[in-house]
Amino acid sequence: MWAQSTQSPPNLMDLGLEDLMKVEIESVYGASGYKQRVSDASASITIITADEISRHGYHTLADILRNVPGFYVSYDRDYDYLGERGFGPPGDFNSRFLLLVDGHRVNDNIFDQAFIGTDFPVDIDLIDRIEVIRGPNSSLYIASALLGVINVVTKQVRDAPGLTFTGELASYGTFKSQLTYGHRFRNGLEMLLSGSYYNSHGQDALYFPEFNSPATNYGIAQNADFDEYGHFFADFNYGHFRLEAVYGSREKGVPTGAFGSVFDDTGNHSIDTRQYLDLKYDRNFGSDWGVMGQVYIDRYPYDQTYIFDLSTFGGPSRAVVDSHGPGAWWGAEGALSKKLLGKQTLVVGAEFRDNFQQDMGMVENLGQTSLPVANVQTSSTIAGVYAQDEISLHRNLTLDLGLRYDQYSTFGGTTNPRAALIYQPLEKTTLKLLYGQSFRAPNAYELYFQSTNPYFQALLPNGNPNLRPETARTTELVVEQDLSHQFLFVVSGYYYPIRSLISAQTNPVTGGYAYQNSQNVDLRGTEITLKRQARSGLEAGMSLSLQDAQTGNGEPPLTNSPHTLVQANLSVPLFHRRIYASTDIDCVSRRSTLQGNFAEAYAVPNFTLFSNAIKHWEVSVSLYNAFNQRFGDPAGPEDPEDIIMQDGRNFRVRFGYHF
Amino acid sequence: MRTPWRKHDEPRQGSRGSSGAGSAWKVRAFRWTMVCCVLMAAPPHAIAQGDNQGEYRVKLAFLYNFAQFVQWPADTFPDSGAPLSICVAGDNPFKGEIEQSLSGRTIGGHPIEVRRLNPEEDPHACQMIFVRASEMKAAPRILASSKGSSTLTVGEAKGFAERGGIINLTREENKLRFEVNIDAAAQTRLKISSKLLALAKIVKE
């Protein structure tokens, strides 16, 4: 059968679009090199499409990202933390990643947090595709892109016309419902509206051995894992304009006794709300000129509530302490692109952001009265200019140069270049040599937070206005080889020296506890990926990441840094594509923890059956952590635990009805 | 208050270490890797040497692919076995052997029929119209009549999509690319998959 299939008359009709785009129409023989449009990009990119999301039953951005080669995720039952290429300090708030929705920055302006869990303000069902760009991109995107960029592209009216209702039921008392309506008016205006509500009771009882004593309910946190969110999304397209409005608010119970709060008290919770309006203008003049403009206004009201027992300090035994923002900002960006002589594409642009409100307050509620324990109000501005030139040096050689200068009101100026060389020596081989410099500006919290109360001063790190940005200079070599059409083999090797990482440190002389530029880390590693996309609809991918993170002399080794990741996924069409059976597995080698233990290696497979064969309907059934593997993630410094156990076997049923 | 608090220095009861739960993970990972390997190794549909494929052989394969990523309203077809018609405005370049390559293939159960568009014929009878470069003069008339219908218009000449065609095949060096005019698509009753759009160059009028 094998011999037969290779000898049978070849048929172009068996090829998918991506393969057809590689066929050289003047050549007589076979398909040319595997060159996706992605492979033209001057970066190491992975794209995840809406199809993959539904076929695999991914329910958060974190679920999707943990299947991207080189990425891993840990969860402290409040936030999801993204690690990449062996770098994922527990309890950092993903501030080294830039998270974009349709080009709009989602990271807030106080913690620079990238929200990738249930706190991501846009519904997963609205995602058309996600572009994950590894490595720094400070030369085109503003700050926070020290380690990578995650750009979420939402669906448009053409993807979701009419009215669609989706409902979900899942383990731990979870349900979700969503209503989406898309319409194109006669005058050309396109409108997409969507609203959703999610409510999860969470695990009834979570056991944390650290609290196993009679005073703390033998380590059992009851009904403290709740999770609830509401989303609203509106997108209007008219001519060259696009207006998007996003609102997402999530409340999550914090069952871990984080920050030394009272354990097994359902009052501990965090609320994160992201809202923004974004107006874009995008137009091409002739085939040579392009112009892009964007203005936006953003808000990030957050409210973290923790219950403290202050009786030993003469205070109440159940003091409610609220930490709150908000952060608010507006910004604008403009860019021009021009094709020169058909050989170069030049882009120049400028960007300005005004963080007019960066409030960090803390209040201790004492029954009738309340006592402020922190009241920081600050503001800042960022201005940047950039240029990028893509030069076609030769038929099979492209050079991409980028340069960006940013002026921060907080620390001053920084210049970051980027260069990429893309070479296609053979039809089926693409080489990319990538170099980039990038930075992460210290966030408002690291710079300015300061409590007025001695108790909290001693417990919380103090801001340090003299912080410098973290920097990285990254070099990466990517080789893409088309083994036969349908198969793509990618190998990449990288070296990321990261300097001046910011972390909270105790001064050995003064005993003061504050943020410092202290740590240096060198990331080295390699990723090997094999992908298959068959004409039959079968999709498979497998990747192996070997990663090594070394800290500087005399510095403690990096925690939550696995040496090996194995990620595999497979989606098989059954019954003439009426049903898709999909599985993905995520294997992470053991990771050291802050207290010097190890979170053991794990391999967690998920299974999903998906069908849209029945007219109007879309149905999927998912089983996550199918073999009920017990595994835990390293905890952050705010958690009294060292390892936080993750969910066991759980399921989800999802259905959609399109009217 | 989401920043590291200083760890409490209270002594912990017993050493916790790891749960030991991951002891079998290597076996499982290996097993899964093997399963994936076997599935990935299923025979590919390799192109053997000696295939003399012309430009239109590839273009017809594109059309066939487009048809799979486009959803026509059910009422487009008179019955479930009715053919999906690809009508060519201008000379039909897909005759003979090229058309044979489609034999036995169906789209959603509909066999595919390739034929020339008769000038007097109602273009609505075609699910897809391929407008030859030579017929660009007639394009405005064809495009106007396809608005609000469920006919996918595909061209092969520069500016076809900008003038209101839905898909246009273009050449970049010696490979084929395609553009999609999403505004034109939205004016029809067709539903175009995001997978198709992800590979397309999006153009506006």
Alpha-carbon distance of A531 to A488, in angstroms, equals 5
Q: Which two three-digit tokens encode residue A195? A: 């609203």
Residue A614 gets which letter from DSSP? S
Q: Which residues contact A278 (CB under 8 A, 6 or more apart)?
A: A102, A104, A243, A244, A245, A246, A294, A295, A296
Q: Mind telling me how many Å the CA of A73 is from chain B's nearest CA?
A: 17
- Enter the pTM of the model: 0.76
SS3 B204: coil
C-alpha R_g of chain B? 26
If one counts the domains in chain B, the total is: 1
pLDDT for residue A133: 85
Interchain pair A29, B51: CB under 8 A: yes
Please report, for the domain that includes residue B79, its CATH number. Answer: 3.40.50
Amino acid making up residue A136: P
> Domain limits at B139?
55-203
Its ipTM equals 0.71
Query: Would you say residue B11 lies in a domain?
Result: no
> Domain limits at A351?
2-658
- Assign B171 a pLDDT band (cuts: 50, 70, 90): confident
Alpha-carbon distance of A637 to A630, in angstroms, equals 22
Query: Would you say residue B147 lies in a domain?
Result: yes
Query: Would you say residue B134 lies in a domain?
Result: yes
Interchain pair B19, A600: CB under 8 A: yes
Query: Would you say residue B160 lies in a domain?
Result: yes
Interchain pair A17, B65: CB under 8 A: yes
SS3 A428: coil
If one counts the domains in chain A, the total is: 1
- Give chain A positions within 8 Å (CB) of B4: 91, 461, 503-504, 636-638
Interchain pair B32, A605: CB under 8 A: yes
SS3 B194: helix
Amino acid making up residue B14: G
SS3 A576: coil
pLDDT for residue B203: 84
- Give chain B positions within 8 Å (CB) of A26: 55, 174
Please report, for the domain that includes residue A42, its CATH number. Answer: 2.40.170.20
Alpha-carbon distance of B64 to B86, in angstroms, equals 9
Give the residues of chain A that fall short of pLDDT 50: 1-10, 26-40
Question: Considering only alpha carbons, which residue of chain A is nearest residue B7?
Answer: A637
Residues A481, A391, A335, B159, Cα dihedral to 10°: -80
pLDDT for residue B13: 37
Instruction: With a cut of 80, say whether residue B11 has pLDDT above it.
Output: no
Residue A82: closest CA among A108, A61, A107, A103: A61
SS3 A179: strand
Q: Mind telling me how many Å the CA of A502 is from chain B's nearest CA?
A: 12
For residues A658 and A616, is the Cβ–Cβ distance under 8 A?
yes
- Give chain B positions within 8 Å (CB) of A572: 39
Residue A420: closest CA among A437, A432, A430: A432
- Assign B204 a pLDDT band (cuts: 50, 70, 90): confident
For residues A246 and A126, is the Cβ–Cβ distance under 8 A?
no
Query: Would you say residue B35 lies in a domain?
Result: no
Q: Mind telling me how many Å the CA of B79 is from chain A's nearest CA?
A: 16
Q: What is the pLDDT of residues B41-59, one digit of tens each?
A: 544 333 322 233 478 888 9
How many A/B residue pairs have CB atoms within 8 Å?
250
A38/B40: higher pLDDT? B40
- Give chain B positions within 8 Å (CB) of A600: 18-23, 25
